[in-house]
């Protein structure tokens, strides 16, 4: 078996040599389909040279017989145009990702001049090849027979062991988290590959548990779509990220997936770009929502916020916006400029000529048309003045006047003409400008505030509506008004989608109206989220049912479930399942941990703030030599910030992190639970998971689940006095004491 390693090493050396000698080039297909190439082929080859391929498969088909195909992050060809390495995004690569022993017959789909064709092949063997620094370390071989002795790991020592997912396990066990999303091309799993290769013509919802790789899958999916669709480019796809922190975390992944130049934006920033400077929006962050509404159990304000994101509110908006459009047409007023006029009926006819446009564009074209109409009439009147002036001058010249008198009259007539022309122009500008001002459609903010006036009318005067609307403050716009305002913008501004495809991450925290607005902006979307991490409660998505059944009613939509977590150890996932089962046992399925054991989860009772500080310091001293990235997660921002200040007295690399910050490598991050979504760390401390911080309710079950699943390798939970009931059965309860640092508990 050692010969297999040597043979593979020779082949690897030969490919690298041919790249160095310019014998091998980037595959033709990659060149043709690259949407926005910012690096040349030489750079691409230089980047892949140390690891030009990650796998091989030998397949048999009736058309081509037996073939061995190498797969890599980029396609490589020789000068005869033969593919030496196949790009992972090509259709045939799906066979590699989907094959397991016992399932040798595999299908893949190719596009033949716009017609989809199914190809069937038999997989004879598959090899996952681990290469590091131009050296073949191991080969994981799988053959068609499920129980064959040939299924195993081949190393340079010739040792063979039967194994499943050996490459993935070794990467997870040996790797330190950088805090950045990673490229997973070599280790894409079957269920992940299915998600990546879904058609661009359908909406895709990826419901994935914490650590299932769903964010990485989304970016790999976008790379796949761009590679396989020549009409796509960086201008007509968009990534909507949950935070600036997340955007920073994906920056190193984009070049390797050929996604450089793709716009990444938070929803807040996207909306503010569209609304521009006309709308002043009150700063509103997660801290205010969680601490003033959810943690304070302000039910009525929570209902008001939920209402502003609901399907019901969207339908009221639709009704209101359609009324605005009808009222605008009916309100078109007669215009008279210097005796020239257009009747209401004539104006409505002009307005209807632009009915193929969106409302705002229709109104803009209509107003321009009317303005140009009267400008043309004005020009004609000026021309008539000029002609009259010429007639008078001709008459005068035959009247026997002296040259001096002719000149004087000519100057006088020119002055009269100019004055008359100025009067015509001034009256035109005054009358038309006044009319245009009166006929300008209402602004987005005006429309929005008119809606609440409408909702306060007798038609809606129910006790339930009045209870909801008591929180409305005229003229004040906050975070939860952004989605409705954006919906108004796209409803009235866009007559066709701007984007071909949008990817939305952490989408479980988006309201119904978020999706309604984005649906008008794009042809299709990939929605990534985990409803068990839906911490905005009434505002976000507890299930995807309403989105699919109502919003995507007549469109093809695929929901893919990712139930396996690759991030955290079995020990961490057991705790995560326990927390969620305490509240939702009959409504959920357990997260399936990848086969990877780690350190037992630590539970530490403290009585005082001083004791908490000291035990965290001891933990950090122990972990600093073991782990690169460590996080301390507290329930809220106030306590997280206070704890970080205390710890800065003992560690120089402590950083308090918010959603707008960049979490530096090799730092100890202190972060609030609700700000930690989407992040991962080698080891995590939960600062105080006691019964007061995390009571046994839906919100706190989700917050604690989010917090514990940030840990990749080790988790330690501290609690003051009695632990949260969400941890009942895992630890015992004890008594209390007090100290001067209790404000960090």
What region, left, alpha or beta, does residue 65 occupy, with left being phi > 0 and alpha being psi -120 to 50 degrees? Answer: left
Annotated binding residues, written as ranges, equal 208-215
Q: Which of 94-103, 240-249, 704-713 has the lowest mean pLDDT?
A: 240-249
Pairing, β 335-337 against β 340-342 = antiparallel
Question: How does pLDDT run across 640-677, given as a tens digit for each residue?
Answer: 999 999 999 999 999 999 887 766 666 899 999 999 99
Q: How far is CA 302 from CA 307, 540, 617, in A?
A: 8, 12, 38
Strand-strand pairing, 135-143 and 557-562: unpaired
Read off the tokens for 129.
Answer: 């090849």
742 confidence band (pLDDT: 50, 70, 90):
confident
State the average pLDDT over residues 558-574. 94
Is the per-residue pLDDT at 181 higher than 60? yes
Q: Which of 170-179, 331-340, 414-423 has the lowest mean pLDDT?
A: 170-179
pLDDT band at 75 (very low <50, low <70, confident <90, very high): very high
CA distances from 319 to 303, 398, 442 (A): 21, 71, 16
DSSP string, 675-710: G-TT--EEEEEES--BTTTS-SSHHHHHHHHHHHTT
User: Where does residue 607 rank: exposed (0-12), middle (13-18), buried (19+ CB within 10 A)?
Assistant: middle
The pLDDT of residue 32 is 45
pLDDT in tens, 364-383: 999 999 999 988 887 777 67
Q: Which CATH superfamily is domain 193-293+503-564 in?
A: P-loop containing nucleotide triphosphate hydrolases (3.40.50.300)
- What is the structure's pLDDT at 174? 55
Annotated binding site for ATP: 208-215
Residues of the chain with CATH 3.40.50.300: 193-293+503-564, 570-727
- Which pLDDT value is given to residue 161? 53
241 bridge partner residues: 266
In this prediction, residue 12 has a pLDDT band, given cuts at 50, 70 and 90, of very high
pLDDT at 387: 75
pLDDT digits (tens, 9 = 90+) for 504-556: 999 999 999 999 999 999 999 999 999 999 998 889 999 999 999 999 987 78
* Tokens standing for residue 255: 């070049």
Give the integer Cα–Cα distance in Å for 30 and 34: 6
Superfamily of domain 570-727, CATH level 4: P-loop containing nucleotide triphosphate hydrolases (3.40.50.300)
Cβ atoms of 572 and 594 within 8 Å: the answer is: no
- Amino acid 187: pLDDT: 85
> Is the pLDDT score of 166 beyond 60?
no
Query: Which value, to the nearest 10 degrees, does the dihedral of the CA atoms of residues 170, 173, 174, 178 take?
Result: 120
Give the pLDDT of residue 621: 96
The mean per-residue pLDDT over the stretch 686-690 comes to 97
* pLDDT, tens digit, 9 for 90 and up, residues 31-48: 444 444 445 677 778 888
Q: Report whether pLDDT(558) > 50.
A: yes
- Look at residue 340 in the predicted model and tell me its pLDDT: 87
Distances from the Cα of 297 to the Cαs of 13, 256, 700, in angstroms?
65, 46, 12
The average confidence (pLDDT) of the chain is 87
Q: Rounded distance, CA 101 to CA 104, Å?
A: 7
Question: What's the pLDDT score for residue 284?
Answer: 56
Name the residue with tokens 């920033």.
Answer: 269
Mean pLDDT within 309-314: 95
Question: In the prediction, which pLDDT does 92 show?
Answer: 95
Tell me the range of 71-75, 286-290, 459-463, 577-581 where mean pLDDT is highest: 577-581
Q: How far is CA 458 from CA 90, 318, 454, 455, 465, in A?
A: 61, 19, 9, 8, 11
pLDDT of residue 36: 45
For residues 291 and 636, the answer to whether their CB atoms sit within 8 Å is: yes
Kindly state the tokens that stand for 513. Answer: 């109206």
Tokens for 328? 């605008």
The answer on pLDDT for 133 being more than 60 is: yes
CA angle 8, 13, 16 (to 5 degrees): 125
Q: Name the residue among 389, 379, 364 with its Cα closest to residue 428.
A: 379
Task: Using pLDDT thresholds of 50, 70 and 90, give the confidence band for residue 158.
Answer: low
Residue 236 has pLDDT above 90, yes or no: yes
Residue range 437-486, pLDDT digits in tens: 999 999 999 999 999 988 888 777 777 788 888 888 887 788 899 999 99
Q: In the chain, pLDDT over 90 holds for what percent of residues?
A: 56
Segment holding 502, helix H or strand E: strand 499-504
Residue 182 scores a pLDDT above 90:
no
pLDDT at site 399: 67
């Amino acid at each position: 078996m050692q010969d297999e390693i040597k043979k593979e090493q020779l082949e690897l050396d030969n490919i690298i040599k041919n790249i160095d000698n310019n014998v091998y080039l980037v595959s033709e297909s990659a060149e043709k389909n690259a949407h926005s190439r910012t690096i040349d082929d030489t750079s691409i080859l230089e980047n892949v040279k140390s690891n030009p391929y990650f796998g091989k498969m030998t397949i048999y088909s009736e058309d081509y017989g037996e073939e061995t195909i190498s797969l890599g992050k980029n396609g490589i060809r020789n000068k005869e145009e033969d593919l030496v390495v196949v790009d992972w995004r090509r259709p045939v690569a799906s066979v590699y990702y989907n094959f397991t022993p016992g399932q040798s017959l595999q299908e893949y789909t190719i596009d033949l001049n716009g017609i989809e064709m199914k190809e069937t092949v038999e997989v004879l063997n598959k090899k996952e090849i681990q290469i590091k620094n131009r050296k073949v370390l191991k080969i994981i071989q799988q053959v068609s027979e499920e129980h064959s002795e040939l299924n195993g790991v081949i190393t340079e020592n010739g040792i063979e062991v039967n194994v499943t997912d050996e490459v993935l396990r070794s990467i997870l066990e040996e790797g330190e988290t950088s805090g950045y999303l990673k490229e997973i091309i070599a280790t894409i799993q079957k269920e992940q590959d299915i998600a990546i290769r879904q058609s661009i013509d359908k909406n895709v919802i990826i419901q994935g548990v914490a650590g299932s790789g769903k964010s990485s899958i989304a970016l790999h999916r976008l790379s796949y779509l761009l590679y396989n669709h020549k009409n796509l480019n960086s201008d007509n796809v968009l990534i909507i990220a949950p935070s600036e922190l997340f955007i920073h975390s994906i920056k190193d992944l984009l070049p390797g997936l050929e996604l450089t130049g793709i716009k990444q934006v938070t929803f807040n920033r996207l909306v503010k770009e569209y609304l521009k400077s006309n709308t002043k929006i009150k700063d509103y962050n997660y801290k205010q929502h969680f601490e003033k509404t959810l943690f304070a159990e302000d039910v009525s304000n929570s209902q008001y916020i939920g209402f502003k994101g609901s399907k019901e509110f969207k339908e009221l908006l639709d009704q209101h916006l359609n009324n605005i459009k009808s009222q605008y047409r009916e309100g078109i007023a007669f215009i008279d400029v210097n005796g020239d006029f257009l009747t209401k009926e004539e104006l409505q006819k002009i307005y209807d000529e632009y009915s193929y446009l969106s409302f705002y564009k229709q109104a803009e074209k209509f107003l321009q048309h009317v303005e140009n109409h009267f400008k043309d009439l004005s020009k004609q009147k000026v021309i008539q003045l000029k002609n009259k002036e010429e007639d008078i001058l001709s008459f005068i010249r035959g009247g026997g006047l002296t040259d001096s008198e002719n000149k004087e009259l000519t100057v006088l007539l020119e002055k009269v003409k100019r004055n008359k022309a100025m009067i015509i122009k001034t009256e035109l500008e005054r009358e038309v400008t006044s009319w245009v001002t009166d006929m300008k459609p209402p602004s987005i903010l005006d429309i929005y505030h008119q809606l609440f006036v409408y909702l306060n009318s007798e038609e809606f005067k129910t006790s339930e509506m009045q209870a909801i609307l008591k929180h409305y403050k005229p003229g004040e716009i906050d975070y939860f008004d952004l989605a409705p305002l954006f919906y108004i913008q796209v409803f009235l501004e866009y007559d066709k989608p701007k984007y071909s495809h949008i990817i939305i991450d952490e989408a479980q925290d988006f309201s119904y109206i978020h999706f309604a607005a984005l649906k008008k902006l794009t042809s299709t979307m990939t929605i990534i989220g985990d409803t068990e991490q839906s911490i905005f409660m009434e505002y976000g998505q507890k299930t995807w049912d309403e989105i699919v059944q109502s919003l995507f009613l007549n469109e093809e939509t695929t929901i893919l479930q990712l139930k396996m977590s690759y991030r955290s150890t079995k020990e961490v996932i057991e705790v995560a399942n326990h927390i969620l089962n305490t509240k939702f046992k009959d409504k959920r399925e357990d997260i399936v941990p990848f086969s990877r054991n780690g350190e037992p989860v630590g539970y530490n009772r403290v009585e005082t703030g001083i004791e908490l500080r000291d035990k965290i310091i001891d933990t950090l001293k122990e972990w600093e030599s073991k782990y690169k990235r460590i996080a301390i997660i507290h329930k809220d921002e106030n306590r997280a910030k206070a704890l970080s200040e205390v710890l800065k007295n003992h560690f120089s690399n402590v950083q308090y992190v918010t959603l707008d910050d960049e979490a530096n490598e090799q730092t100890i991050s202190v972060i609030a639970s609700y700000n930690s979504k989407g992040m991962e760390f080698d080891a995590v401390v939960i600062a105080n998971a006691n019964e007061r911080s995390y009571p046994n309710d839906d919100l706190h079950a989700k917050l604690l689940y989010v917090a514990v699943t940030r840990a990749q390798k080790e988790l330690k939970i501290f609690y003051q006095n009695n632990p949260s009931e969400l941890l009942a059965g895992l630890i015992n309860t004890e008594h209390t004491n007090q100290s001067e640092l209790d404000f960090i508990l």
